[in-house]
Each structure stands twice: as C-alpha cells, then as structure tokens.
C-alpha cells in the first residue's frame, strides 16, 4: 500500500469518526439567511464566482460572464446590493476564467484571474469600493480601479487556476498552474508557479517583488493551487499532484 492511499484512508477514518460522534445540526440551525440571488444574468452565462467579506461585513463577489469579461458586485451584510453588476475587465476581447479575490487592510478588493484570449495570461487588478456612491446601481471600472488590469504572467504554453492571498503589509501573493517549460524537463506537464507583488498606491501600479517562481520542479501533473498567509506572514500553498 503506497503512502498516498494510506493518507487517504486515514482521512476517511478520521472523517467517519467525526461523523459517528458529532451531534447533528439541522439546516435551519446552520443557515442564517435564506439563499440570495446575487445577480440575475438573464440570457448570459454567469459562473466561476469567488467571494470575500471586508471588515464591515460587506460582501464582494467576482465572476466570469460568458467566459469573456469579469464582473464585480458588492452587497451589504444583509445582502442588499450596494454596487450592482459591474464589468471590471478592460474593454476588448477577453476570455476570463477562474477568478479569485482577497481584501486588504483598507478594504480594497484584489482580484486575480486567467485571461485565455490568445496566449494565456494571469491578470490582476485592485478596486476601491469607496470610490463608488454605493447606491445600488452599477459602478464604473475606471472609477473603482486603484490598479488597472495588470499582467502577472504571460509566456508560451497555457496557465490557469490563479489564487491570491495578502500578508499583514498588504503584500500580494499569487500562485497558479502553468505549463510553461523553458528546458523541456517536465514533459509539458503543468507545474505550480508563485509571484509576489507590492502596491504603489501613489503611482497606481503593482510592482513585482518576486517574479514568476517555479515551486514544484518535479515531474508530474500539478494543478488547482490555493494559497494562504499565516500570522507570521509565511505563505502556505496547496495543490493537486
């Protein structure tokens, strides 16, 4: 029996033990509010939503519309709309996939996503909802944007599944799945890459602190990473292998 199978069995046994002894909870005891429709896309295809809450309990949601443009909305803690569906990807031909979202110490919204138009790229933007009147109508990307759409990585081969986390200094940490391979060592199997950005709010730019860095230099298909930053500002990364 290999180690992977043993780990899987241990996890299953632990889960089963928890189920056996944990008290059951009815749905009404767990769900505080009824399900709320965030946006009614009508005939369009809204999917791949990601969500974060800020220090005031407001809810920020991003998603892909028709796998073309990226959209954003803001709700208050009671799920009333403050900023209605707003396109936040720049005009032009895009194919927005798999966005992720994080909030910083000033309640600014950091968004990362994959643009599959042409050579696949990982893109990043920062929004400040306080630049909107939050009257329930749609906002304006130009007015909301602190950092305009910025390419984090774009090279040969494909890349996808970005994830984002912020540290205590609002440093931006991004990981993604990437098939880029300069030397042909990994048989074009995707690996996990990492980059760190620092925000220059005065110049309204994202500065590269750590450029594209390969985290998994081992043959094998790596994918679907996620990222978190702990209390000591250590960056934790998990992925499929």
- What pLDDT does 24 receive? 65
Rounded Cα–Cα distance for residues 217 and 196 (Å)? 19
Residue 137, SS3 per DSSP: coil
Q: Which residue has the higher pLDDT, 20 or 224?
A: 224
CA 235 to each of CA 80, 98, 109, 112, 113: distance values in angstroms, whole numbers, following the listed order: 34, 21, 19, 17, 19
Q: Which residue has the higher pLDDT, 30 or 77?
A: 77
Average pLDDT over residues 28-32: 64
Rounded Cα–Cα distance for residues 49 and 70 (Å)? 10
Rounded Cα–Cα distance for residues 39 and 83 (Å)? 11
The whole-chain average pLDDT of the chain stands at: 88
- If one counts every other C-beta atom within 10 angstroms of the C-beta of residue 20, the result is 7
- What pLDDT does 26 receive? 64
- What pLDDT does 10 receive? 41
Q: Which two tokens stand for residue 110?
A: 């950091």
Rounded Cα–Cα distance for residues 16 and 28 (Å)? 24
Average pLDDT over residues 87-94: 93
pLDDT tens for residues 132-153?
A: 999 999 999 999 999 999 999 9
pLDDT tens for residues 195-240?
A: 999 999 889 999 999 999 999 888 778 899 999 999 999 999 999 9
- What pLDDT does 141 receive? 96
Q: Which residue has the higher pLDDT, 95 or 25?
A: 95
Buried b (16+ CB within 10 A) or exposed e, 80-94: ebbbbbbbbbbeeeb
Q: Which domains does the chain have, with CATH numbers?
A: 36-240 (2.120.10.10)
Handedness of CA 21, 26, 29, 35 (dihedral sign): positive
125 and 142 Cβ atoms separated by less than 8 Å: no
Percent of the chain whose predicted confidence (pLDDT) is above 70: 84
- What pLDDT does 221 receive? 84
- What pLDDT does 115 receive? 97
pTM for this entry: 0.85
Per the rule left: phi > 0, alpha: psi between -120 and 50, beta: everything else, 171 is: beta
């Amino acid at each position: 029996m290999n180690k992977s199978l043993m780990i899987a069995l241990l996890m299953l046994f632990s889960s089963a033990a928890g189920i056996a002894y944990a008290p059951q909870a009815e749905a009404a005891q767990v769900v505080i509010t009824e399900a709320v429709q965030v946006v009614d896309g009508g005939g369009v295809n809204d999917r791949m939503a990601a969500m974060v809450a800020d220090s005031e309990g407001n809810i920020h949601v991003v998603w892909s519309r028709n796998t073309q443009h990226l959209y954003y909305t803001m709700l208050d803690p009671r799920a009333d709309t403050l900023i209605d569906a707003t396109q936040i990807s720049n005009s032009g031909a895009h194919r927005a996939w798999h966005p992720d979202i994080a909030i910083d110490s000033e309640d600014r919204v950091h968004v990362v996503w994959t643009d599959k138009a042409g050579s696949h790229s990982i893109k990043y933007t920062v929004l400040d909802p306080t630049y909107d009147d939050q009257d329930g109508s749609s906002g304006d990307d130009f007015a909301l944007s602190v950092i305009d759409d910025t390419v984090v990585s774009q090279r040969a081969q494909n890349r996808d599944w970005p994830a984002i986390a912020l540290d205590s200094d609002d440093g931006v940490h991004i990981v993604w799945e990437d098939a880029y391979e300069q030397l042909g060592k990994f048989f074009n199997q995707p690996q996990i890459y990492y980059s760190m950005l620092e925000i220059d709010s005065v110049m309204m730019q994202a500065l590269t602190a750590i450029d594209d860095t390969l985290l998994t230099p081992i043959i094998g298909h790596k994918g679907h990473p996620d990222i978190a930053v702990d209390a000591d500002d250590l960056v934790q990364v998990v992925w499929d292998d």
